Amino acid sequence: MRPLTEKGMIRKATPRILETLRLCRDKCRLAQELTVGHSIADLVILRANFTHFWPEGPLSIAESAILSSLRRLGAANVDLIAKEVFMQAEPVRRLLLGRLSSWYLVRNIGGEFRSSKAWVSQSEIIAVEAKLMRWRDALSQAAAYRRYADRAFVLLPAASALTAAQHKDVFAEAGVGLLSYADGSVVHVFPAQKTREHKWHREFAISRIR
């Protein structure tokens, strides 16, 4: 029997994770080793709200930051958006009037821009970090995924999960849940805390899960 690897565990565990978390594979998009900012998640599950307005391609960091600022502000002019994203006004204007407008992700009403937010706010993202032993490293990485994910989990083999489960308070403080894998099955050891306090990473991540 081949030794278990992190990639192998994720591959084998993915269908069981969907089942354990009661997520329908037909309604979910999956991405492995998704790079968002400085982090790479082993598995990201997107349960999407496929509205009429959806990114037609991956968004850049700048485009994601602009959409994120409008998600927080509701409506704003170019100068205010530029201040929020630490950019000059003219490049921000070009981005707003470029793909973001042609894809109907933003609209200009009387000099103020509003974003189409349903594709972001009504979708759900679950991110999973897998490790064979180093649960503290996995926890730190999974906590970073909360910048874009509604829920984040650590996935460990059963023996490592048993050790990690003794530190439930540490997981709870980070808002991260724990999943245990053994013999082709996944156990939901304890849940992840939901968060909706997301940064530009959310728009960026959703646009890349296809």
Domain boundaries, the chain: 6-48+123-196, 61-120
| % the chain with pLDDT above 90 | 84
Continuous segment of H or E residues that includes residue 32: strand 28-36
**Closest C-alpha to 10, from 125, 152, 131, 126:** 131
Distance between CA 87 and CA 94 in Å, rounded? Answer: 12
Phi, psi of 6 (to 5 degrees): -65, -45
| % the chain with pLDDT above 70 | 98
Confidence class for position 2, pLDDT limits 50, 70, 90: low
Residue 188 CB contacts under 8 Å (≥ 6 apart), including other chains = 20, 21, 177, 179
User: Is the model's pLDDT at 52 over the cut of 70?
Assistant: no
Distance between CA 200 and CA 66 in Å, rounded? Answer: 8
Q: How do residues 163-202 score in pLDDT, each as one tens digit?
A: 999 999 999 999 999 999 998 899 999 999 999 889 999 9
Cα(first)–Cα(last) distance of the chain, in Å? Answer: 33
What is the CATH number that goes with domain 6-48+123-196?
A: 3.40.1350.60
Instruction: Render 147-196 in DSSP notation, one character per residue.
Output: GT-SEEEEEEEHHHHHHHGGGHHHHHHHT-EEEEEETTEEEEEEPPPP--
What mean pLDDT is predicted for residues 115-141? 94
**Closest C-alpha to 188, from 154, 137, 163, 160:** 154
Confidence class for position 85, pLDDT limits 50, 70, 90: very high
Q: Name the CATH topology of 61-120.
A: Arc Repressor Mutant, subunit A (1.10.10)
Distance between CA 158 and CA 169 in Å, rounded? Answer: 19
